[in-house]
Structure 1
Amino acid sequence: MAAQPPTRPVLLRTALAAAVALSAGVLAASPARAATGAITGLAGKCLDVAGAASADGTPVQLYDCNGTAAQQWTVGGDGTLRALGKCLDVTGNSTADGAKAQLWTCTGGANQKWTVTAAHDIVNPQADKCLDVTGNTSANGTPTQIWTCTGGANQKWNAPAAQTGEQCWATHYGPQPPGALTASGEVFDNNADTAATSLSRQPQLPFGTRVQVTNVANGRSLVVRINDRGTFVQTPQEPKCLDLTDGAFSRLGGSLNPDAGHIVVTQTVLG
């Protein structure tokens, strides 16, 4: 299974250029890789996007951890903290104590850059101030802000650690016939968070293995479950490691129309 749709000639040339770059060590020299998960703070509660809304200006608050997408933050190698496809942002590009933290379309601005320190502070370098739970209260819905760093418990956070996974290419299935079965015997679902590994992979990952996949280009990350085998081969010239469903490929930022062919990812086996 895991057949690939034809690749447009212009994208084929792009893929070839990427392969040459990889063999020259360019892709392998990627800087810090993104990591995704909950950010916990005061009273063990989570940094949360209010109402799971992705609209610009949505407050970022403290809330009971619930495992939803509103609490899944990607700590990017570019200094951003992202949830629901947008960035943690200091309102109005302010550097003043009490400036609110919110969700906003990623712009690359200094008010969207953060440093997670070894002391568990999350610092906005432009303001040289810490992400802070307002009023040092742990009530659900308490808004966050930036404030002069004090070392207080309301400024301490546990963020996902950087990943050290293997870097390679992830392709996608493309259209498959209705009722098609994966190598594990499941009915194929082209929108599920599942993937195929190459038959040539050694050692082979057992069916059911969970793998965290992160798009190097944008920091988007998700966990897929291995339920199929593909006939593609992973080589230094074409380091194809995973064949994702179209849905998973798209959620990671891969383009289906026009077909991107592959995205460069890191993969970390979770077990």
Structure 2
Amino acid sequence: MLTEVTAVRYVTPLREGGSLPGVVEAVDGQGAYATYVMKFTGAGQGRKTLVAEVICGELARRLGLRMPRLTQILLDPVVGLGEPDQQVQELLKSSGGLNLGMDFLSGALGFDPLAHGVDAAEAGRVVWFDALINNVDRSWRNPNLLLWQGGLWLIDHGASMIWHHNWRTAATASAKPYDATDHVLGAFGPDVASAAAELAPLVTEELLTEVTAEVPDVWLTDEPGFATPDDVRHAYVAALLPRAATIHERIALGEPQPKGAAT
């Protein structure tokens, strides 16, 4: 299970994200303080966004992709009483209890495809991974990639696995191809075949079971159509496992030109 920390100070909202994540300071059980980007149960799609963040983020890490460490953050809404923004106040009030934290990568830069290069092997691994989780939010308009300490880091997977918003159609939806024609790394010649050969064998039922176990029960309880949180976890495994084996055969690649790029 993800480490649990307690929020002690709300620092500032991050207005780049539609769900209005915020920077918070939190303390762990040993009294150590750290800064996190916090995503709230009361925002946007609610807990399903956080479930996607955990499953995809922890899967990325286990596949060797760079991903900021995730934690559970216990929030008492009184932490934000001094925040003057009414929207933030309402978000905090509706998000008491467990929320999701991501290590704040101080000094990280947003990835710009016009200014930074990525080799074909790394681009292939990221594109293959995004195809696996059906990530529709890694375009050149919104890369959701950071450069930190010389490496490329993946963030923001809440819009992935869209099938979990309608489990009755999950099997059909998870079997669909992946449109990467607008992917931010599409113009870097991603070597998807090599990525699939390297990563697909690692995506086993055991690995997916381990990853889904990281999701707190409270975010899976009372999911319509499921009796227990473990039943929901099994549904995620059932959607991702067969997709890993064949999705590389169904990735539509292109070379989109970001606005302002030379032609």
TM-score under structure 2 length normalisation: 0.23
Larger strand percent: 1
Larger helix percent: 2
TM-score under structure 1 length normalisation: 0.23
Higher Rg of the two aligned structures: 1
